[in-house]
Amino acid sequence: MKKLLAISLLSLYLLTLTEVGQLIKLPLLVDHFIEHKEKDQNLSLLDFLAMHYSHSHTPDADDLKLPFKSHNGCISLNIWPTE
C-alpha cells in the first residue's frame, strides 16, 4: 500500500510541478510530423525537429501545441528558513 501511495504521489508531482507533463503531447508531435512528411517525402525527422525547434522558425497556432514549445506555468519554489 505504501509503495502504491508513493508512486501515485511521485507521479502527481512530476505531472503537475515539472515539464514532464509535456511528454503527454508527444502524439501531437508525431501527427504533425506525419502531416509534414505527406507534403515532403524527403523530410527527415531531424530536419522536422530543426524546423520547429530552431530559433529562426516563426511558430503558428499548431506549432504551439507541440511538446516543449510552450510552458505550462509550473513554478517550483524552494523556501529556506533564514535565521
Helices (H), the chain: 2-17, 26-39, 45-53
Residue bearing cell 514549445: 69
- 4 burial via Cβ count (<10 Å: 0-12, 13-18, 19+): exposed
Q: What is the pLDDT of residues 2-52, one digit of tens each?
A: 999 999 998 888 877 777 778 888 899 999 999 999 999 999 999 999 888
Encoded amino acid at 74, one letter = C
Asked whether the beta carbons of 26 and 67 are under 8 A apart, the reply is yes
Of residues 44 and 73, more confidence is placed in 44
For the whole prediction, is pTM greater than 0.75?
no
Residue ranges per structural domain of the chain? 24-71
